A and B are shown apart, each in its own frame.
Chain A
């Protein structure tokens, strides 16, 4: 079978000593930032990826991807033990996970979370392997119209489906698209919005935007909020769940995986929303919903499976279509571009060792995470004692150093500080930064494809609605918009 041969190729790549090492480094780092609240995987990837340029593309992508899905494991640990979600995607796990810990069942809760995550990770990886290549082949036939319509759907979806206000999300997308245009225009060579700064000719650097928007703004937000750290026990009794626990948790884990896999592929939803949806589904299906919030094991298994499945399947649109569906995927797409690879359907065809190597490394990474998280859980928890006043100057250091080292130029650091101020003001006004980053990444692509589409059709916009695939994406966009506007209008009518 073709998939098996390809997977064999992938495992061959992933099992090299170098790639195994970077995979381990990635998932360990991911677990670490997942455990520590206040550092998201997004920020970590943003800080570290300029420092991974010296690595070969496969190794760097394996490591960066590992940080992302590793954080989904780590985030559940603090949710259960400390009632403090390390990641937003694990916030819902606090409800029942922490209650289980208080009842002395922290061990089974942790084990079930890790096992459910592992199951979901395996299924998610398998889905990428099965769905990716046919989807990529299909996308090879896309013309500029299909790409424009797909990007439009992705951008609108990310703005509307993510947390926060839809209008602000759409405005952030437009702002991101504008920021992406800074620099020399590909078609005419015209310098746009460079204001006489020669460093801006190549555009605003990817790290500048990502780090400024997420890291700098986040640190400042953390510094001004006065949340005291909770005290916790680092003693975890009996780790293994009983047979009854496993029986109770298995179907919720399977359902959570399905929910997460679906949400991961959709733009804008990602792990956070999927874990919430999976929890709600379990509560609806349960014979006795009142147990939820009081230490129901289903309430741990389902969302943990969902967020990990979503983290994996989120790679599908990015790796096969070249269209990132979330901010982290936008970062990874940016990392690929910086490595000289254009994310898109041609990656599978032309660089099979890259695609399959990453897929295989994810499976290996999930196995490593199981080992890292279960026996070593005490070690991770002890790391929570590191006070934030030691952490944040170090994060600032990585931000500044990372930006400086992209082109050995202080201007990138200055720009990053400036974007940080912008990001802080926007965050204070409750504007989600993720749609902006997505717009920034897709801006030049969208303009390029739009130009081509209009040129080929002699200025006629009709092909967007007469070509069937493009029309389908347009209808999808309209449906997403309608889903938000309709309830708002109904609310006003009353």
Chain B
């Protein structure tokens, strides 16, 4: 693969669509296809997957053939921190409760920003945790445990 092609917006989008469409078609082979009169559960996904493959192939070709490449610059660092903060939150909330989960989320997410000031993040965490507990747990009565074994009710 030519180096500039690897970052071509058209080529990458096409590749992604092609892969997802092909994957969808392969998986849909396990579902009954049926006939045009009585469509099975595999009919619509197969057709959609086919359409996606066609669009993907078109975009890949357009990306490969065009002389002027619109290329991508990735920002993996903020993406990684934001995604990690959500995963950690989902993991901790049922195990350790809302307060530790929120603290982990705020510190992980804030670490993905351009600047990180420890005291500021701590204050933000405290304020937003108080707000969440007040509004969502106290007023809207969402059934979260705050700390392991500690419920509000």
B59 within 8 A of A: yes
**Chain B at the A interface: SS class:** helix
Contact A404 B85 (CB under 8 A): no
Contact A426 B13 (CB under 8 A): yes
Task: Pick from A174, A417, A428, A454: contact of B74, CB below 8 A.
Answer: A428
Task: Pick from B105, B132, B143: contact of A393, CB below 8 A.
Answer: B105
Complex A-B: 26 CB contacts under 8 Å: A170-B55, A171-B56, A174-B52, A174-B55, A178-B20, A178-B21, A178-B52, A192-B45, A216-B82, A219-B82, A220-B82, A224-B78, A389-B114, A396-B105, A397-B102, A397-B109, A413-B89, A414-B86, A420-B82, A421-B83, A424-B79, A426-B13, A428-B9, A428-B74, A429-B12, A450-B39
Number of chain A residues whose Cβ lies closer than 8 Å to a Cβ of chain B: 61
Q: Which residues of A contact B140 (CB under 8 A)?
A: 51, 54
For B13, the closest partner residue in chain A by CB is A429
Assuming the contacts A224-B78, A429-B72, A454-B37, asked whether A178 and B45 have C-beta atoms less than 8 A apart, the reply is yes
Bound form: Cα–Cα A394–B86 in Å: 12
Interface residues of A (CB under 8 A from B): 51, 54, 167-168, 170-171, 174-175, 177-178, 181, 185, 187-188, 190, 192-193, 216, 219-221, 223-224, 226, 388-390, 392-394, 396-397, 399-401, 404-405, 408, 410-414, 416-417, 420-421, 424-426, 428-431, 447, 450-451, 454-455, 458-459
Q: Which residues of B contact A392 (CB under 8 A)?
A: 109, 113
Assuming the contacts A167-B59, A400-B89, A401-B132, asked whether A174 and B106 have C-beta atoms less than 8 A apart, the reply is no
Contact B90 A404 (CB under 8 A): yes
Q: Which residues of A contact B109 (CB under 8 A)?
A: 392-393, 396-397
- Lowest 3 CB-CB distances: which A-B pairs, in order? A224-B75, A413-B90, A410-B90
Contact B51 A394 (CB under 8 A): no
Bound form: Cα–Cα A193–B45 in Å: 10
Q: Which residues of B contact A51 (CB under 8 A)?
A: 136, 140, 142
Q: Which residues of A contact B74 (CB under 8 A)?
A: 428
Bound form: Cα–Cα A397–B74 in Å: 24
Bound form: Cα–Cα A389–B78 in Å: 12
B70 within 8 A of A: yes
B110 within 8 A of A: yes
Bound form: Cα–Cα A405–B93 in Å: 11
